[in-house]
Amino acid sequence: MKRIKVLSDSVRKKIAAGEVVEGPFSVIKELVENAIDAGATEVDVQVYDSGLKKILVRDNGEGIEPEDIKLVITDYATSKIDDVYDIDRVDTYGFRGEAVSSISSISDITILSRRQGNETGVRLYSSDNRVETADFAGPGGTTVIVENLFYNVPARKKFLKTRRSEMRFVRETFLKAALPHPGTGFTLDVDGKRHISLSRVSSLDERIEQVYGNEVTGNLYFESMQDIKIKISGFFSQPGFLRSSRAMQLLYINRRPVEFKYFGYILMKAYEAIAIRGKHPAAIVFIDIEPDLIDVNIHPAKREVKVFDQKYVESLILKLAEKALNRKHSFSDELFRDEQKSLHETVGISASAGASPGDLHSIGSLFRGKQVFHSPPVSLSREVVNEGAELYREFNNDNSIRILGTVFGTYIVVEQGDSLNFIDFHAAHERFVYDRLRENSREIEGQALAFPVMVELPVDEYRLVLENFQLLNELGFDIDDFADNTVTVRSVPGIVKDIDVKEFLADFTESIKGEKGESADFRDAMAKSAACHSAKRSGDHLGESDLEFLVRDVFSGDHEMRCPHGRPYIFSINKKDFERMFSR
């Protein structure tokens, strides 16, 4: 063993720099965040050789005072906080004052800056502990150029991924940083060529569209909720828009992209009813929270954030996702659209009057008031129409059920005790058929068709049907290969005897295309498709016994109150709410 000695400053700094700078992407992150902290509305990024040769970040932010320029590369020098207590109030990305200084210890760095309003600016060049400064006469704002990253840290170089994946990290970091700032324009040039250009736009939707393509926002629901100290909003996949990876699951806390272990899990829960194996919902969630309720100072790169009450935040994310999923199928936002604003105000006031500030759990209950069901005009309470979810437990098995009829060819209207219920019979029927197909985990009795049906399919779907003969058989479909992309269907499951076989096969094969699922998942997909293509549709005639059968099932409490795709199929209004509506 050699003797113990204190490491030199420069070695110490390089070791410490490793915590902040994992790769070129970390440099991009720190520099772009500094640009945003400086109030930039334009940020241009250039990388050469995946950032290992050169990274340049230029902004039109407030700039740096010439006298302060050396402090930028000094450890723990920052303009963003004065005291440790300020961390509780910090609304900038940075505050540790170590990023640029760390970067400068493992690269050659040039900083060009002119403060907006100053005649001249300043230029700093630092390499190998040598620092030079000079005047600078360029445009207002700051440009930081980092060259030869890690040239003096051999160990780190070894850990870098391939150039291609470093470049992918750079691109992801850039996009993640740009996403929550639609009011700032960003460009990314790679080896001298423009790769990405995000012009300034006026809303988050537009920025998301710029990043993910223009059909995307049409496939996402937007929802938001708020209480005194937290605002949470987000964009969520509509049921048909599931992705093959989690890449589009992003969580921001105070516009900081954060890694949160349970995020994917929470989303999975929200989408349970419509989940397809190997598919993931997209979700871009923004939490804005009073800075004193979070601790961002637990990770040097601030990738993780500690929140005051993780369970509560998790429950908010789940609620928001569920709310988004329920939304399209709720009572008209249309009808009461004008009321939306005043409703929110009312809730805001009652929130502050009704609960003491720190008492976030009790405030949580107020969220209910901000569902998409809005009170009719005048001063009616927000509880006039209940949310679907709240009804789940209200049904009980009594005999006070009266079927009043169907309306709009789509809904069964039912009086039950003190509530008036509207049931979307297609969605309800779909759920029951699905549950039945699923509950017989073994074979299901097929019912022979009077005349076998020949179905011709596109070639890849035909292949998929052949590959899944066995499973189809277990569900009660007796299918034979005929020839030339055509199959013969001889029997179908008894409970779906009216199924449109061709539609079913097309839908089922489409849903498993490209999937490498297990037979259980395929069976699930099969059950879903079968349920969908056999359930009564709007406009279908429902006989009295059909109605009774369906309604009894609805109130049996045996089924989830959503169709297999996640849409609620029942809403109710209770008598109290009626009375309130008539000011009784």
- Of the two residues 94 and 568, which places its CB atom closer to Mg ion in the complex? 94
Pick from 524, 492, 521, 496: which is nearest to 433 by CA?
496
| 34, 110, 113, 386: residue in contact with Mg ion (rule CB under 5 A) | 34
Asked if 133 interacts with ligand ADP (CB under 6 A), we say no
Asked if 94 interacts with Mg ion (CB under 5 A), we say yes
Asked if 96 interacts with ligand ADP (CB under 6 A), we say yes
Point out which span in 34-42, 208-216, 294-302, 338-346 binds Mg ion (CB under 5 A). 34-42
Cα–Cα distance for residue pair 331/336, rounded to 1 Å: 9
313 binds, among Mg ion, ligand ADP, none (CB under 5 to 8 A by kind): none
Residues in the chain: 584
On the 0-12 / 13-18 / 19+ scale of CB atoms within 10 A, 345 is exposed
Least distance CB 112 / ligand ADP (angstroms): 10
Closest residue to Mg ion, Cβ-based?
94
Least distance CB 137 / ligand ADP (angstroms): 17
Least distance CB 44 / ligand ADP (angstroms): 12
In the shown chain, the binding pattern of residues 393 to 412 toward Mg ion, with x for contact by CB under 5 A and - for none, equals: --------------------
| 100, 305, 360, 428: residue in contact with ligand ADP (rule CB under 6 A) | 100
- Of the two residues 145 and 204, which places its CB atom closer to ligand ADP in the complex? 145
Least distance CB 97 / ligand ADP (angstroms): 4
Q: Are 237 and 243 in contact (CB under 8 A)?
A: yes
User: Residue 42 forms beta bridges with which residues?
Assistant: 185
| 23, 24, 51, 61: residue in contact with ligand ADP (rule CB under 6 A) | 61
Asked if 34 interacts with ligand ADP (CB under 6 A), we say yes
The amino acid occupying position 573 is I
* C-alpha separations of 314 from 70, 267, 299, 357, 455 in Å: 43, 10, 20, 20, 48
- Of the two residues 92 and 148, which places its CB atom closer to Mg ion in the complex? 92
| 99, 198, 248, 250: residue in contact with ligand ADP (rule CB under 6 A) | 99
Closest residue to ligand ADP, Cβ-based?
94
Asked if 79 interacts with ligand ADP (CB under 6 A), we say yes
| 50, 101, 184, 534: residue in contact with ligand ADP (rule CB under 6 A) | 101
Least distance CB 38 / ligand ADP (angstroms): 3
Q: What is residue 194's three-state secondary structure?
A: strand
Point out which span in 52-60, 97-105, 481-489, 531-539 binds Mg ion (CB under 5 A). 97-105
Task: List Cβ neighbours of 541 (8 Å cut-off, separation of 6 or more).
Answer: none
| 53, 70, 80, 329: residue in contact with ligand ADP (rule CB under 6 A) | 80
Which residues in the 470-499 window bind Mg ion by CB under 5 A? none
570-574: strand order across its sheet: 401-407, 411-416, 419-424, 570-574
Point out which span in 61-69, 245-253, 256-264, 269-277 binds ligand ADP (CB under 6 A). 61-69
Point out which span in 99-107, 291-299, 302-310, 324-332 binds ligand ADP (CB under 6 A). 99-107
Tokens of 455: 């179905």
Q: CA triplet 203, 207, 208: central angle to 5 degrees? A: 115
Q: CA triplet 508, 510, 514: central angle to 5 degrees? A: 115
97 binds, among Mg ion, ligand ADP, none (CB under 5 to 8 A by kind): ligand ADP
| Phi-psi label, residue 476: left if phi above 0, alpha if psi -120 to 50, beta otherwise | left
Torsion angles phi and psi, residue 194, rounded to 5: -70, 120
Encode 536-568: b = buried (16+ Cβ within 10 Å), e = exposed.
beeeeebeeeebeebbebbbeeebebbbbbbbb
